[in-house]
């Protein structure tokens, strides 16, 4: 999954240009800017609330009323300026907003209509048909897998099959309706937005919520309270810790069999469940989490990210048009992402097919190492695209080192260096202090 988000002249944001991957991290001292970017991303990902989807129109020019209402629902309408521009583009659709006008292009639908035109005179356009199908399957891997299950369930997914994709051109009467359904499903999946206020919000009763709470927080509360998760093992936080939702209450069970209502549990436990319970049932949607590090010790922050990645699973993170975003002002989150990047970069399972094992080594040795790495980093793969950006003074900068493809060391080390420098200064001043006095 790759996409692009451009924001110009919105609130204190001057120019943000993000080339997004499957998993994205936004870091910066000014959390308001990170939050604004995350909310705008949530808005452009909730197309069913902003545009009509019933008609098979490839391009829609419309007024900005619904888009501005979405900005208001997310409590960021005040950032709107006369020269604001917001652009979002993925392989599925394109949106361009400016005050007074919104352009919406359904890119995948354009390709589907092209398939229909080519299929009307198939014999003359077979080569172009094959090339179009191959491009769709390469871009939309989930759609490819599902089509494969329908048409050729006995053939394994392989590079060879991709090269001989012409076999699918005989099944366009099945493929085209499927792709239309797939496009509709993708457009109508609203993202799961998990706000920074989650640990406090989850204690509110949805039936007594005051109307002044912004709609996006109400939506989060509804998703949290309606979560179908009945049990969850929280032993990654504390031994024999478990969440249980029975008919009467949401409870946390401790190792001594003591049960407490979720509202009485410690803040870091509430925060953990405030992220996991809404996210897991909707893991095939885009997920946006504000400040996942809140209320945690550093080691627990890393444990939570690992647990979240493991719970969501590789397939959901790689789902077509799904984007996972984490906003933070903590460099330790970047260290966690660096571990995933490092494992994904160096342990490329595709190398196994083209490499010769040393004498005395077997393929079992390869997979033993991969299993050991997965125990440390649940989600790593050379095909997962992780991106990281620093938002500073209203602009965005990629913080992936182009040479190593890892997070730039100076970004991670900046906080530690500052602390070490100040520590040294304090030690020096203490020495000067005692030189003033006789001992």
DSSP per residue over 108-134, as a string?
Answer: HHHHHHHHHHHHHTGGGSHHHHHHHHH
Range of weakest confidence among 103-117, 163-177, 404-418? 404-418
Q: Which two tokens stand for residue 236?
A: 């990654």
Range of weakest confidence among 64-68, 89-93, 116-120, 330-334? 330-334
Domain contains 345: no
Say yes or no: 280 and 208 in one domain.
yes
Range of weakest confidence among 15-19, 50-54, 187-191, 359-363? 50-54
The residue segments making up the domain with residue 429 are 411-439
Task: Provide the CA 333 distance to its chain's centre, in angstroms.
Answer: 14
Domain contains 252: yes
Say yes or no: 206 and 276 in one domain.
yes
Domain contains 164: yes
C-alpha gyration radius of the chain: 25
Say yes or no: 162 and 204 in one domain.
no
Domain contains 200: yes
Say yes or no: 232 and 174 in one domain.
no
Terminal Cα-to-Cα distance of the chain (whole angstroms):
68
Q: Which of the listed residues 166, 187, 208 is the one where a domain comes to its end?
A: 187
pLDDT for 159: 46
pLDDT band at 160 (very low <50, low <70, confident <90, very high): very low
Q: What is the pLDDT of residues 50-85, one digit of tens each?
A: 766 556 666 777 788 999 999 999 999 999 999 999
Q: What is the pLDDT of residues 331-367, one digit of tens each?
A: 777 777 677 666 665 665 555 555 677 777 777 877 7
Q: What is the pLDDT of residues 193-222, one digit of tens each?
A: 999 989 888 877 666 666 678 899 989 998
Say yes or no: 151 and 200 in one domain.
no
pLDDT band at 161 (very low <50, low <70, confident <90, very high): very low
The span from the CA of 37 to the CA of 41, in Å, is 6
Say yes or no: 199 and 278 in one domain.
yes
The span from the CA of 20 to the CA of 23, in Å, is 8
Domain contains 226: yes
Residue 178 near residue 150, CB atoms below 8 Å: yes
Task: Provide the CA 231 distance to its chain's centre, in angstroms.
Answer: 24
List Cβ neighbours of 290 (8 Å cut-off, separation of 6 or more): 34, 35, 38, 194, 195, 196, 327
Higher pLDDT, 7 or 301: 7
Say yes or no: 126 and 201 in one domain.
no
pLDDT beyond 90 at 35: yes
Higher pLDDT, 409 or 131: 131
Domain contains 18: no
List Cβ neighbours of 17 (8 Å cut-off, separation of 6 or more): 4, 5, 6, 396
Question: Among 228, 215, 213, 330, which residue's Cα sits nearest to residue 279?
Answer: 228
Write down the H helix ranges in 14-104: 31-44, 47-50, 65-73
Q: How many structural domains compose the chain?
A: 3
Annotate 60-95 with b (16+ C-beta within 10 A) or e (fewer).
eeeebeebbebbebbbbeebbeeebebbbbbbbbbb
Q: Which of the listed residues 187, 214, 230 is the one where a domain comes to its end?
A: 187
pTM: 0.84
Element (H, E) at 3: strand 3-10
Say yes or no: 175 and 219 in one domain.
no
DSSP-assigned beta bridge partners for residue 388 = 25
Size of the chain, expressed as the number of residues it contains: 439
pLDDT beyond 90 at 408: no
The span from the CA of 423 to the CA of 434, in Å, is 17
DSSP-assigned beta bridge partners for residue 433 = none
The span from the CA of 419 to the CA of 386, in Å, is 28
Q: Which of the listed residues 242, 266, 284 is the one where a domain comes to its end?
A: 284
- CB-based burial label for 215 (10 Å; 0-12, 13-18, 19+): middle
Residue 84 near residue 100, CB atoms below 8 Å: no
Q: Which two tokens stand for residue 216?
A: 């996006």
Domain contains 40: no
Angle at 132 between CA 130 and CA 137, to 5 degrees: 95
The span from the CA of 200 to the CA of 290, in Å, is 14
The span from the CA of 312 to the CA of 60, in Å, is 34
DSSP-assigned beta bridge partners for residue 397 = 390
Angle at 209 between CA 207 and CA 213, to 5 degrees: 150
Say yes or no: 169 and 217 in one domain.
no
Q: How high does pLDDT run on average in the chain?
A: 81
- CB-based burial label for 193 (10 Å; 0-12, 13-18, 19+): buried
The span from the CA of 35 to the CA of 294, in Å, is 14
Say yes or no: 114 and 175 in one domain.
yes
Say yes or no: 182 and 204 in one domain.
no
Domain contains 420: yes
Say yes or no: 182 and 201 in one domain.
no
């Amino acid at each position: 999954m790759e996409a692009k988000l451009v924001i110009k002249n919105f609130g204190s944001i001057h120019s943000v240009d993000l080339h997004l991957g499957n998993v994205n991290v936004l870091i910066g001292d000014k959390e308001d800017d990170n939050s604004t970017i995350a909310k705008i991303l949530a808005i452009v990902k909730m197309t069913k609330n902003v545009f009509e989807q019933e008609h098979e129109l490839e391009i829609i020019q419309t007024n900005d009323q619904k888009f501005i209402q979405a900005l208001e629902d997310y409590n960021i309408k005040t950032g709107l300026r006369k020269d604001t521009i917001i652009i979002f583009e993925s392989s599925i659709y394109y949106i361009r907003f400016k005050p007074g006008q919104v352009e919406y292009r359904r890119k995948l639908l354009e390709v589907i209509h092209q398939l229909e035109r080519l299929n009307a005179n198939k014999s003359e356009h077979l080569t172009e048909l094959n090339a179009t199908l191959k491009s769709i399957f390469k871009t939309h891997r989930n759609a490819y897998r599902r089509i494969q299950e329908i048409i050729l369930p006995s053939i394994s997914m392989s590079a060879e099959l991709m090269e001989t994709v012409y076999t699918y051109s005989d099944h366009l009467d099945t493929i085209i309706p499927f792709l239309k359904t797939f496009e509709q499903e993708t457009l109508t999946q609203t993202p799961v937005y998990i706000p920074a206020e989650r640990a406090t919000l989850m204690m509110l009763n949805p039936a007594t919520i005051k109307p002044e709470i912004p709609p996006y927080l109400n939506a989060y509360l509804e998703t949290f309270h309606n979560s179908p998760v009945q049990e969850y093992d929280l032993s990654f936080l504390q031994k024999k810790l478990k969440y249980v939702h029975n008919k009467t209450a949401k409870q946390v069970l401790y190792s001594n069999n003591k049960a407490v209502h979720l509202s009485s549990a410690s803040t870091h436990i509430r925060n953990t469940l405030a992220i996991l319970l809404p996210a897991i049932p909707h893991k095939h949607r885009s997920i946006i989490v504000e400040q996942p590090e809140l209320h945690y010790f550093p080691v627990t922050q890393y444990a939570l990210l690992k647990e979240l990645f493991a719970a969501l699973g590789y397939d959901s993170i790689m789902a077509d048009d799904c984007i996972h975003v984490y906003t933070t002002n903590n460099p330790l989150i970047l260290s966690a992402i660096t571990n995933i990047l490092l494992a994904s970069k160096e342990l490329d399972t595709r190398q196994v097919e083209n490499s010769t094992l040393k004498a005395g080594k077997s393929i079992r040795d390869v997979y033993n190492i991969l299993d050991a790495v997965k125990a440390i980093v649940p989600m790593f793969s050379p095909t997962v695209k992780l991106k990281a950006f620093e938002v500073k003074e209203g602009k965005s900068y990629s913080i992936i080192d182009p040479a190593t493809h890892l997070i730039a060391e100076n970004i991670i080390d900046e906080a530690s260096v500052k602390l070490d420098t100040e520590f040294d200064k304090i030690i020096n001043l203490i020495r000067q202090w005692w030189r003033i006095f006789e001992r």
